[in-house]
């Protein structure tokens, strides 16, 4: 499709278009090449940032979450050093804490969906944009519009709005509205759609195996409607879509089915021409194996832009990738026409966000710490949590628990990350002890435990505890091949495993992966909380003690299609 700066999603005025054209005209080939890059930032020091901006003329940068003063200083320096205003990005999937530690942790996308109210997604987007804007961010790498069809997928999970396409569309639409109404570009991801594979594109080329018809009615419908409604940017994943690649190019062999980030069939053929997307396309992070393993990097770097992407996200080495891109241009892999088109879309996105005028008036980074974690934002976050927590089953009619009946509690935290587990443990233990419960924290058994006959039996565990309470803290993390439970076992036994569900009342609360019932079907009382924030923990305890009703509506099938998990 032809680039149109007056059309959706840019809607540029004549003066904005003049700025884009004049800026492009003045740029050398080397400066245009630089605009294609959005590296990740690691420091706010002038000695680090200034050479990147001045030597490579980058188009944008993204920082991970940091402290307010550090992020503000980094963003101010970046915009000061750059002649052309920069796109400053952040992963704002769950609130302002995606960029600044002092921001509001609103809730994971699936937690928001579990409220059943898309207005909560609007508030998530609004708060993310306001808090991100308070430190200079103008580009949200969110929302995730993947559909969580495969409960084995280790990376989509609670990052999605669930497994129902209509729910994903309804909530994503409101998030985009909340973000873009507040002066920030949204980026829907990860095109052409994750969630059907049981593998992670961080580790290999993901594959969406839907047929053309299945894709059109699910992922395709979501992308089409959000594009028509004006989303400014799309992130291309390292995910293949063989059915459409074969349809658009029947000559393709199986080994040529590249990830979307490198596929002209998917980027130009499907996203541009068929879905009509006129805005900016950015690759997902290019150090991911789904990108790096697809072809030699010296070819892949220019090929991504040649395929139709406009910006290149992150680098193994910015210097190396810049030279690969320049060499690809010189060798004809990347044509001048495609280079100019990509840079025009980058500049048009900046113009659509009003960045040239803000640069002129010195308002690109209007730092305001008072916009972070306001009483209103905290209240909205708490209300979201209260509406979301889902009682999946209580077939033993155990709830509510009470100090009178369940004073002696064996508390277990399950999860692979010690620091996160300790934070969760400390918070839960403190709150339960304040309620009057006597808490014993599970300690892994040893050879000495086994040899001395101290392993619990059915009789001894009944005498020691009135309740066993599990909190699973298996968070989504890049580069993890599964998001399943792992147990500490000793000669096949030990109290980590829920062998005692018929001896002692047992409650299982998942703070992340909503599919853990697959691994603990014997537990009769199971709760999905979708997040491990302080507010979530507080609300879970209120609900299990009967002081607050369960209101959550599961956005996925927590029974994983298996009848035996229901009982």
The CATH number covering residue 196 comes to 3.20.20.300
DSSP class of residue 332 equals T
In this structure, the answer to whether residues 367 and 394 fall within a common structural domain is: no
Q: Are residues 396 and 367 in the same domain?
A: no
- The owner of tokens 């507040």 is 182
Picking from 358, 295, 361, the residue whose alpha carbon sits closest to that of residue 328 is 295
Query: Is residue 383 a part of any domain in this protein?
Result: no
Reply yes or no: is the peptide bond before residue 427 cis, omega within 30 of 0.
no
Same domain, 324 and 396: no
CA distances for 534 relative to 142, 259, 443, 510, 538, angstroms:
23, 38, 24, 14, 6
Tell me the torsion sign for CA atoms 310, 314, 316, 320.
positive
The verdict on 318 and 180 lying in the same domain is: yes
Token pair, residue 35, equals 């605009």
Catalytic residue among 16, 148, 200, 284: 284
Strand order of the β-sheet with 40-41 is 40-41, 60-63, 87-90, 139-140, 185-191, 233-236, 280-283
Q: Would you say residue 381 lies in a domain?
A: no
Q: Please report whether residue 167 resides in a domain.
A: yes
Of 309, 339, 371, the last residue of a domain is 371
For 422, the domain range is: 389-565
Q: Please check whether residues 31 and 125 belong to one and the same domain.
A: yes
Phi-psi region of 12 (alpha: psi -120 to 50; beta: other; left: phi over 0): beta
Give the residues across from 88 on adjacent strands. Answer: 61
Q: Are residues 346 and 420 in the same domain?
A: no
Distance CA 370, CA 155 (A): 34
CA distances in angstroms from 450 to 2, 217, 489, 498, listed in the order given: 72, 56, 11, 18
- DSSP 8-state code for residue 532: -
Q: Do the domain assignments include residue 245?
A: yes
Q: pLDDT 10s per residue in the chain (567 long)?
A: 799 999 999 999 999 999 999 999 999 999 999 999 999 999 999 999 999 999 999 999 999 999 999 999 999 999 999 999 999 999 999 999 999 999 999 999 999 999 999 999 999 999 999 999 999 999 999 999 999 999 999 999 999 999 999 999 999 999 999 999 999 999 999 999 999 999 999 999 999 999 999 999 999 999 999 999 999 999 999 999 999 999 999 999 877 789 999 999 999 999 999 999 999 999 999 999 999 999 999 999 999 999 999 999 999 999 999 999 999 999 999 999 999 999 999 999 999 999 999 999 999 999 999 999 999 999 999 999 999 999 999 999 999 999 999 999 999 999 999 999 999 999 999 999 999 999 999 999 999 888 888 899 999 999 999 999 999 999 888 888 999 999 998 777 899 999 999 999 999 999 999 999 999 999 999 999 999 999 999 999 999 999 999 999 999 999 999 999 999
Give the total number of structural domains in the chain. 2
Query: Which contiguous run of DSSP H or E holds residue 321?
Result: helix 318-330
CB-based burial label for 225 (10 Å; 0-12, 13-18, 19+): middle
Cα-Cα end-to-end distance for the chain:
54
Residues 190 and 334 in one domain: yes
- What is the side-by-side strand order in the sheet with 525-528? 390-394, 525-528, 506-510, 467-472, 408-414, 438-441
Structural element, H or E, at residue 236: strand 233-236
Q: Residues 218, 263, 343, 82: what is their CA dihedral angle, to the nearest 10 degrees?
A: 90
Catalytic, 197? Answer no
pLDDT of residue 256: 78
**Residue 252 covered by a domain:** yes
Residues 6+ apart with CB under 8 A from 219: 145, 147, 165, 192, 193, 208, 210
Kind of pairing between the strands at 390-394 and 525-528: antiparallel
Do 302 and 433 share a structural domain?
Answer: no
Is there a single domain that holds both residue 367 and residue 323? yes
- Of the residues 371, 402, 432, which one is the last residue of a structural domain? 371
- pLDDT at position 58 is 98
3-state secondary structure of 358: helix
In a domain, 380, yes or no: no
Q: Are residues 352 and 394 in the same domain?
A: no
> Is there a contact between 258 and 306 (Cβ–Cβ < 8 Å)?
no
Asked if 260 and 203 count as a contact pair (C-beta separation under 8 A), the reply is no
- Indicate whether 228 and 363 sit together in one domain: yes
Report the CATH number that the domain containing residue 502 is assigned in CATH.
3.40.50.10140
Domain-embedded: residue 35: yes
Distance CA 117, CA 215 (A): 26
Helix (H) / strand (E) element for 525: namely: strand 525-528
- pTM for the full model? 0.97
Q: Which two tokens stand for residue 225?
A: 């409607």
Q: Name the 3-class secondary structure at 458.
A: helix
Asked if residue 56 is part of any domain, the answer here is yes
Q: Is residue 143 domain-shared with residue 95, that is, in the same domain?
A: yes
């Amino acid at each position: 499709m032809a680039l149109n700066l007056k059309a959706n999603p840019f809607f540029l005025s004549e003066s904005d278009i003049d700025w884009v054209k004049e800026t492009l005209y003045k740029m050398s080939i080397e400066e245009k090449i630089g605009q294609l890059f959005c590296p990740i930032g690691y420091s706010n020091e002038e000695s680090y940032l200034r050479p990147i901006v001045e030597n490579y003329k980058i188009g944008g940068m993204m920082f991970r979450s940091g402290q307010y003063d550090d992020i503000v200083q980094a963003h101010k320096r970046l915009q000061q050093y750059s002649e052309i205003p920069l796109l400053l990005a952040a992963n704002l999937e769950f609130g302002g804490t995606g960029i600044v530690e002092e921001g509001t942790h609103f809730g994971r996308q699936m937690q928001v969906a579990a409220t059943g109210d898309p207005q909560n997604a609007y508030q998530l987007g609004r708060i993310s944009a306001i808090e991100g804007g308070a430190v200079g961010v103008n580009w949200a790498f969110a929302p995730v519009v993947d559909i969580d069809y495969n409960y084995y997928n280790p990376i989509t999970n609670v990052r999605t709005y669930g497994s129902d396409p209509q729910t994903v569309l309804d909530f994503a639409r409101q998030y985009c509205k909340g973000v873009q109404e507040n002066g920030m570009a949204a980026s829907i991801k990860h095109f052409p759609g994750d969630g059907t594979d049981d593998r992670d594109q961080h580790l290999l080329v993901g594959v969406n195996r839907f047929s053309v018809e299945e894709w059109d009615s699910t992922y395709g419908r979501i992308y089409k409607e959000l594009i028509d409604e004006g989303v400014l940017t799309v992130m291309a994943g390292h995910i293949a879509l063989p059915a459409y690649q074969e349809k658009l190019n029947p000559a393709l062999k199986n080994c040529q089915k590249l990830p979307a980030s490198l596929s002209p069939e998917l980027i130009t053929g499907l996203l541009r021409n068929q879905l009509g997307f006129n805005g900016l396309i950015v690759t997902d992070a290019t150090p991911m194996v789904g990108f790096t393993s697809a072809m030699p990097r010296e070819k892949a770097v220019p090929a991504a832009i040649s395929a139709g992407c406009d910006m290149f996200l992150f680098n193994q080495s910015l210097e190396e990738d810049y030279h690969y891109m320049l060499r690809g241009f010189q060798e004809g892999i990347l044509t001048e026409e495609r280079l100019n088109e990509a840079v025009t879309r980058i500049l048009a996105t900046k113009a659509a966000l009003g960045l040239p005028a803000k640069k002129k008036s010195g308002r690109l980074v209007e730092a305001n710490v008072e916009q972070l974690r306001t009483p209103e934002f905290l209240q909205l976050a708490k209300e979201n949590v209260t509406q979301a927590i889902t009682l999946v089953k209580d077939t033993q009619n155990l709830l509510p628990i009470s100090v009178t009946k369940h004073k002696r509690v064996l508390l277990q935290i399950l999860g692979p990350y010690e620091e996160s587990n300790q934070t969760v443990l400390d918070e839960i233990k403190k709150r339960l002890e304040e309620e009057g419960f006597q808490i014993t924290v599970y300690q892994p058994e040893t050879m000495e435990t086994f040899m001395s006959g101290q392993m619990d039996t059915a009789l001894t565990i009944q005498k020691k505890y009135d309740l066993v309470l599990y909190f699973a803290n298996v968070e989504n993390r890049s580069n993890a091949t599964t998001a399943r439970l792992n147990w500490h076992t000793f000669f096949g036994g030990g109290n980590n495993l829920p062998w005692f569900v018929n001896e002692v009342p047992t409650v299982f609360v998942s703070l992340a992966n909503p599919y853990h019932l697959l691994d603990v079907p014997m537990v009769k009382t199971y709760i999905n909380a979708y997040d491990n924030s302080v507010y979530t923990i507080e609300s879970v305890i209120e609900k299990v003690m009967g002081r607050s009703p369960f209101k959550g509506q599961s956005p996925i099938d927590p029974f994983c299609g298996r009848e035996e998990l229901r009982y």
